[in-house]
Structure 1
Amino acid sequence: MDMYAFGWCSGIERAEALKQMGFDYIECALASLNLENDGEFAEKLPLYVNSPIPVRAFNIFFPGDLKVVGPDVDDERVRRYVHKAAKAIHQIGAETVVLGSGRSRNCPEGWEMSRAEEQILQLLEQIGEAFVGTGAKLVIEPLNKKESNIINSVSEAVRLAQMVNHPNIRVLADFYHMDEEGEPLQTLIDNKIWLQHIHIADTGRFSPGTGQYPYEQFVPALRAAGYEGMISAECTVREPDVEMPVSLAFMRRTFGGGSAEA
């Protein structure tokens, strides 16, 4: 069996195009399901359930105005959202859900970082429990400091995952954020048992294969970590129909494999 499955972070309207290009799956924004609007959600759900290519992953867990850190957290709104998210993810059949959501998790000025961390730990525990029986895992996404002032490295995300210690909580490594933060690739190997998902891009956060990111070091580190599973391109695309097939060819050539069922 091949080690990797390759996908692209994109809107559901690109699902057919991604299938035609030969991708294994699509990764969509959970926020785009409009979970808090029952009417809009009911309209959108069939697009994901009946997608021509599997929606195996979701990112952008929370809409930007739904705060999960700070004094303005609406616990009941968060609880309802997480419950609806778990149900939708199960219906769609996604197996990995990314918690990036920099705007939602940013620690506001004047709020103690220790309190922020406690709120995030409680949230992770809540999501972990909500995901029981769904077949999905949540992965914590480290973001660079321009996007978030909390959880900026793989090792930091792993520390939180270890503290929660829930089988449904794992960690994502994003090549772009790692490069922005200068995080050593050794962290992939050091934290290998926690790795559940990978995001990639290239110089300037453009399509993989268009820049100078050190893939010749990243790929061996990922292999040394024993990682098998999904790898999603998450980047800015200027000409999708031109760039995406070329990037997929680059990904298959560089990582050497595809169509993983892992």
Structure 2
Amino acid sequence: MPAYGVILPTAEIDAAATTHADYVEPTIVGNLVVESEGRWILNPQYRGAERSPSFAILFPGSLRIADPGFPAQEVTRYLEDVLAVVGAHAADGARIVLGSGIARTVPDGVDREAAERRFAEVVAEARDIARRNGVRIVLEPLHRGETNLIHTIDEAVAFLDRHGIDDVPVVADLFHIMLEGEPLEQVGAHAGRVGHAHIADTDRRPPGQGDWPLREFLTALRNGGYDGAVSIECFWQDVAAELPAALAAVRGADAR
């Protein structure tokens, strides 16, 4: 049976425990890890579900991972620090979502092809360091309001293939799909390359509070061969009050 979880910071972790979410997808930057004296360490205040199957927000905006002029050693050191911490708190093979729109935005004046090559290097490096720590990188397309690099599942698949990056699945996120107007038929066509899924309703409200095509999205993924987990990623007014109905809406939309 598929698992249904929710992206939450430590401060909201108790809500998931009382509402029968199958798992929590913790955020990494500023939640699982914090910066201390130039290195990234486990946040002493972190309190999350141990052995989580997925994690979100891999890079802080201060690391410019699509800028060939940014020091590569800083990115490597960050990945070594952080993925070791993530691996210690993750389930074996957990998915680590590489979205990080600010970090991967191509800066003004930077050659586009050079920026894409640099980002490809970072994706491949993250994949390799993640693998050594028992986890797996998944690349998330983000809508153009968050970044200027890779907006759709189709673009993500083409990018990975163009740069010869294997063993990096992509994320299917209904929020970005809707804002980019990506056809669900295209989502289904690439479902075999999908390694993780995020879901929300209209304007990123909790599932069940809008009119976005939750059932059609999940059907496209399932019919295309994706049988993995689905994480709710949305804006909450009251997590404890809204999460039970949101989980029920996702499970109902995924009923087969």
Q: Deviations over 1:43-75 (max 9, x none)?
A: 538634xx3x65221111111111112254121
**Residues 25 and 54 in structure 1, CA contact (< 8 A), matched pair in contact too:** no
Structure having the higher helix fraction is 1
Q: Which residue matches 1:27?
A: 25
Q: Please tell me the residue identity of whatever aligns with 2:160.
A: A
**Higher-RCO chain (CA-CA 8 Å, sequence separation at least 6):** 1
Give the distance between the partners of 1:216 and 1:59, measured in 2 at CA: 24
Matches for 1:91-240 after TM superposition, within 5 Å: 91-94=88-91, 95-162=94-161, 163-167=163-167, 169-240=168-239
Q: What is the DSSP-based 3-state SS (H/G/I as helix, E as strand, rest coil) of the residue aligned with 1:253?
A: helix
**Residues 124 and 164 in structure 1, CA contact (< 8 A), matched pair in contact too:** no
**Residues 200 and 232 in structure 1, CA contact (< 8 A), matched pair in contact too:** yes
Q: What is the DSSP-based 3-state SS (H/G/I as helix, E as strand, rest coil) of the residue aligned with 1:229?
A: coil
Q: Please tell me the residue identity of whatever aligns with 1:5.
A: A
Matched, 1:7 2:33: no
| Structure 1 range deviating more: 147-156 or 219-228 | 219-228
**Residues 128 and 166 in structure 1, CA contact (< 8 A), matched pair in contact too:** no
Q: Please tell me the residue identity of whatever aligns with 1:21.
A: T
Alpha-carbon deviation of 1:231? Answer: 0.6
TM-score (norm 1): 0.89
Alpha-carbon deviation of 1:17? Answer: 2.1
**Residues 207 and 236 in structure 1, CA contact (< 8 A), matched pair in contact too:** yes
Q: Please tell me the residue identity of whatever aligns with 2:61.
A: G
**Residues 10 and 26 in structure 1, CA contact (< 8 A), matched pair in contact too:** yes
Q: Which residue matches 1:260?
A: none
Structure 1 residues not aligned, in runs of 5+: 258-262
**Residues 101 and 147 in structure 2, CA contact (< 8 A), matched pair in contact too:** yes
Give the distance between the partners of 1:81 and 1:119, measured in 2 at CA: 16
Determine what percentage of the aligned residue pairs are the same residue. Answer: 30
Give the distance between the partners of 2:44 and 2:164, measured in 1 at CA: 33
Q: Deviations over 1:8-62 (max 9, x none)?
A: 11102322320210001111211123353279834538634xx3x6522111111
Q: Deviations over 1:202-228 (max 9, x none)?
A: 111111110010123212211211211
Structure 2 residues not aligned, in runs of 5+: none
Alpha-carbon deviation of 1:249? Answer: 1.0
Q: What is the DSSP-based 3-state SS (H/G/I as helix, E as strand, rest coil) of the residue aligned with 1:228?
A: coil
Alpha-carbon deviation of 1:199? Answer: 0.6
Q: Please tell me the residue identity of whatever aligns with 2:7.
A: C
- Summarize the Cα distance change of 1:124–1:71 in structure 2 as closer, same or farther, 3 Å threshold: closer
TM-score (norm 2): 0.91
Give the distance between the partners of 2:99 and 2:43, measured in 1 at CA: 25
Q: Which residue matches 1:64?
A: 61
**Residues 26 and 54 in structure 1, CA contact (< 8 A), matched pair in contact too:** no
**Residues 35 and 85 in structure 1, CA contact (< 8 A), matched pair in contact too:** no
| Structure 1 range deviating more: 169-178 or 186-195 | 186-195
- Summarize the Cα distance change of 1:99–1:82 in structure 2 as closer, same or farther, 3 Å threshold: same
- Summarize the Cα distance change of 1:187–1:45 in structure 2 as closer, same or farther, 3 Å threshold: farther
Give the distance between the partners of 1:153 and 1:186, measured in 2 at CA: 13
Q: Please tell me the residue identity of whatever aligns with 2:150.
A: I
Give the distance between the partners of 1:129 and 1:114, measured in 2 at CA: 23
Give the distance between the partners of 1:62 and 1:133, measured in 2 at CA: 18
Give the distance between the partners of 2:140 and 2:42, measured in 1 at CA: 28
Matched, 1:16 2:14: yes
